[in-house]
Amino acid sequence: MTAALIDGKGYAAALRQRLFKRAERLKQLHGVVPGLAVVLVGDNPASHIYVRNKGKAAQEAGLQSFEHKLRESASQAQLLKLLAELNSDDKVDGILVQLPLPKAIDSGAVIDAIDPDKDVDGFHVINAGRLATGQPGLVPCTPLGCELLLRAGVPQLAGQHAVIVGRSNIVGKPLAQLLLRADCTVTVAHSKTPDLPSLCRTADILVAAVGRPEVIRGSWIKPGAVVVDVGINRVTEKDGTMRIVGDVAFDEALPVAAAITPVPGGVGPMTIACLLENTFTAACRRRRIDPETV
């Protein structure tokens, strides 16, 4: 058996196409163009690339994009002042502060300062609480992307045992909530979990969100399981070339799993697509428009 590849890149492109049409309808029907404000503080080169990609993707989907760049030396007070302005700006439906922030700034305080109804990252404690209690809110983009890929690829999620390796606030914990909501039986594992390989072998759905290259081996996977690899790790080969790999040893997983998300081209592209979806959702809800009707 060779695992089917779950085509996140293709699925994300289709989502973005669909969103473009929905954005056109929203403009025609309600005169609304959703606006996404992306805030970048400092000189992190990777963050600059991510922010540029997010702005470009927003424009391609027919959304408005606003970029705000602050110097590395910007104070927390300056950033909080900018967020207060964006919170009260009616053209702005979604606010994303690119992480990591410079060390002098308290990320928690910054996330707290974003209006939860514009928090398109879904990181605000109010949105975490809404997700945990089944209320409508904004859901973090990467877990939302994982859920959409699983819904597309697994005929029946109800009753499946999902093992999520990684307990971050950004991926592991919110994905556990989403899969619980989809009636999976969910186990969240982490660095202190004893005998991780045996636990992983009980998973019908195995999600790797560890952030370390190829730690999940082929022998940890139950034959026929569906594997979602959230990892994006840069590794240097013996010949000095760089390569992006996931948290799963992909070549070992291929003959064992029923389906697997590749890296790159799996979960990664879904994250940006879901950011745009969240911005659209926020724009509708702020105006009491049901996004499902657009």
Q: Which residue among the candidates 64, 93, 98, 115 is catalytic per the annotation?
A: 98
Least distance between ligand GUN and beta carbon 120 (Å): 9
Structure tokens at 42: 């400092």
Quote the DSSP letter at residue 37.
E
Mark whether 121 is an active-site residue.
yes
Nearer to ligand GUN (CB atom), residue 7 or residue 121: 121
Question: Where in 78-97 is the site for ligand GUN (CB under 6 A)?
Answer: 96-97
Residue nearest to ligand GUN (CB): 99
Per rule CB under 6 A, count of chain residues that contact ligand GUN: 6
Q: Which residue among the candidates 115, 119, 121, 204 is catalytic per the annotation?
A: 121
36 contacts: CB under 8 Å, gap ≥ 6: 54, 55, 58, 63, 64, 65, 66, 92, 93, 94, 96, 120, 275, 276, 279
Nearer to ligand GUN (CB atom), residue 7 or residue 119: 119
d(CA 24, CA 33): 8
User: What is the phi/psi pair of residue 65, to 5°?
Assistant: -125, 135
Residue 139 engages ligand GUN in binding (rule: CB under 6 A): no
What is the signed CA dihedral for 112, 116, 122, 127, rounded to 10 degrees?
A: 90
Least distance between ligand GUN and beta carbon 151 (Å): 20
Relative to beta strand 233-236, strand 242-245 is antiparallel
Among 33, 99, 199, 289, binds ligand GUN (CB under 6 A): 99
Q: Which residue among the candidates 54, 118, 173, 222 is catalytic per the annotation?
A: 54
Mark whether 135 is an active-site residue.
no
Which residues contact ligand GUN by CB under 6 A?
Answer: 96-99, 121, 141
Catalytic residue annotation: 54, 98, 121
